[in-house]
Amino acid sequence: MSQNPSPRQIVQQQLPKQAQPGPQASAFAPSNIALCKYWGKRDKALNLPINPSLSVSLGQLGSRTELSPIDGAEDRVILNGEVQSLEGGFAAKVVSFLDLFRQPGSPRLQVDTHNNIPTAAGLASSASGFAALMLAVDKLYNFGLSPEQLSAFARLGSGSASRSIFEGFVEWQMGVRDDGMDSHARPLAQSWPNFRIGLLTLTSAAKSVGSRAGMQRTVDTAHLYQSWPLQAAADLERIHQAIEQQDFELLGATAEQNALSMHATMIASWPPLLYWQPESVAAMQQVWALREQGLPLYFTMDAGPNLKLLFQGQDQQAVLKAFPSLQVVAPFEAA
Amino acid sequence: MSQNPSPRQIVQQQLPKQAQPGPQASAFAPSNIALCKYWGKRDKALNLPINPSLSVSLGQLGSRTELSPIDGAEDRVILNGEVQSLEGGFAAKVVSFLDLFRQPGSPRLQVDTHNNIPTAAGLASSASGFAALMLAVDKLYNFGLSPEQLSAFARLGSGSASRSIFEGFVEWQMGVRDDGMDSHARPLAQSWPNFRIGLLTLTSAAKSVGSRAGMQRTVDTAHLYQSWPLQAAADLERIHQAIEQQDFELLGATAEQNALSMHATMIASWPPLLYWQPESVAAMQQVWALREQGLPLYFTMDAGPNLKLLFQGQDQQAVLKAFPSLQVVAPFEAA
B277 neighbourhood in chain A, CB within 8 Å: 281
Contact B227 A231 (CB under 8 A): no
pLDDT in tens, A206-230: 677 888 889 999 999 999 999 999 9
Q: Tell if the CB–CB gap between B267 and A264 is shorter than 8 Å.
A: yes
Which tens digit of pLDDT belongs to each residue from B282-308?
999 999 999 999 999 999 999 999 999
What distance lies between CA A169 and its chain's CA centroid?
13
Q: Give ipTM to 2 decimals.
A: 0.92
Span A179-215, pLDDT tens digits: 999 999 999 999 999 999 999 988 876 677 888 889 9
Predicted confidence (pLDDT) per residue in A101-133, tens digit:
998 889 999 999 999 986 655 566 899 999 999
Domain ranges in chain B with CATH number 3.30.230.10? 7-187
> Does any CB of chain B come closer than 8 Å to the CB of residue A272?
yes
Rounded-to-integer distance, Cα B26 and Cα A157, Å = 70
CB-based contact, B230 to chain A, within 8 Å = yes
Over the stretch B159-204, which tens digit does the pLDDT of each residue have? 999 999 999 999 999 999 999 999 999 999 999 999 999 999 888 7
pLDDT digits (tens, 9 = 90+) for A5-42: 899 999 999 998 778 899 999 999 999 999 999 999 99
| Three-state DSSP class for residue B323 | coil
Distance of CA A174 to the CA centre of its chain: 15
- State percent of chain B over pLDDT 90: 87
Using the beta-carbon criterion (under 8 Å), do A263 and B263 form an inter-chain contact?
Answer: no
- B218 Cβ under 8 Å from any chain A Cβ: no
DSSP assignment letter at A4 = S
Beta-strand relationship, B169-172 and B53-70: antiparallel
Residues comprising chain B, all counted: 335
- Gap from B325 CA to chain A (nearest CA, Å): 20
Tell me which chain A residues have a C-beta less than 8 angstroms from the C-beta of B260. Answer: 267-268, 272
Q: What's the pLDDT tens digit per position in A88-98?
A: 788 999 999 99
Which residue, among A208, A219, A225, A261, would best test binding to B if mutated, counting the most B CBs under 10 Å from its CB? A261
Q: What is the fold of A195-329?
A: Alpha-Beta Plaits (3.30.70)
Indicate whether A334 pLDDT > 80.
Answer: no
Give DSSP secondary structure letters for A228-263: HHHHHHHHHHHHHHHHHHT-HHHHHHHHHHHHHHHH
**Average per-residue pLDDT in chain B?**
94
3-state secondary structure (DSSP) of residue A41: strand
CB nearest A284 (choices: B225, B265, B274): B274
Closest-CA residue of chain B to A266: B264
Confidence class for position B206, pLDDT limits 50, 70, 90 = low
Question: Is A58's Cβ below 8 Å from some Cβ in B?
Answer: no
A265 CB within 8 Å of a chain B CB: yes
* A79 pLDDT more than 80: yes
Q: Is the per-residue pLDDT at B124 higher than 90?
A: no
In DSSP terms, A169 is beta-bridged to A56
Residues forming a β-bridge with B35? none
Report whether B267 contacts B299 (CB < 8 A).
no
Q: What are phi and psi of A219, to 5 degrees?
A: -60, -40
Q: Do A281 and B277 touch (CB under 8 A)?
A: yes
Q: Which residues of B touch A278 (CB under 8 A)?
A: 278-279, 281-282
Picking from B207, B209, B257 by the largest number of A CB atoms within 10 A of its own CB, the best residue to mutate is B257
Residue type, B160: S
Q: Does A284 touch chain B (CB under 8 A)?
A: yes
pLDDT tens for each residue of A257-306: 999 999 999 999 999 999 999 999 999 999 999 999 999 999 999 999 99
Distance from CA of B95 to the nearest CA of A (A): 35
The span from the CA of B152 to the CA of B159, in Å, is: 9
pLDDT at A1 over 60: no
Residues from chain A that touch B253, judged by Cβ atoms under 8 A, are 270
DSSP state of B295: -
Q: How far is Cα A99 from Cα A297, in angstroms, rounded to an integer?
A: 44
For chain A, the residue count is 335
CA distance A172 to chain B (A): 22
Which residue is closest to B257 within chain A, CA to CA?
A268
Average model confidence (pLDDT) for chain A?
Answer: 94
Measure CB to CB from residue B264 to each of A230, A234, A267 and give the nearest one: A267
The residues pairing with B313 across neighbouring beta strands, listed in sequence order, are: none
Cα–Cα distance for residue pair A321/A68, rounded to 1 Å: 46
The CATH class, in words, for A7-187 is: alpha beta
CB contact under 8 A, A267 and B263: yes
Whether A261 has its CB under 8 Å from any CB of chain B: the answer is yes
Kindly report the nearest CA distance between residue B168 and chain A, in angstroms.
27
Chain A residues touching B270 at Cβ < 8 A: 253, 257
CA distance A313 to chain B (A): 24
The predicted structure's pLDDT at residue A272: 97
Kindly give, in sequence order, each residue whose CB lies less than 8 Å from that of residue A264, ignoring residues fewer than 6 positions away.
A224, B222, B224, B264, B265, B267, B268
Nearest alpha-carbon partner for B160 in B168, B169, B151: B151
Parallel, antiparallel or unpaired: strands A76-79 and A108-115:
parallel
CATH 3.30.70.890 domain position(s) in chain B: 195-329
Beta carbons of A227 and B231 less than 8 Å apart: no
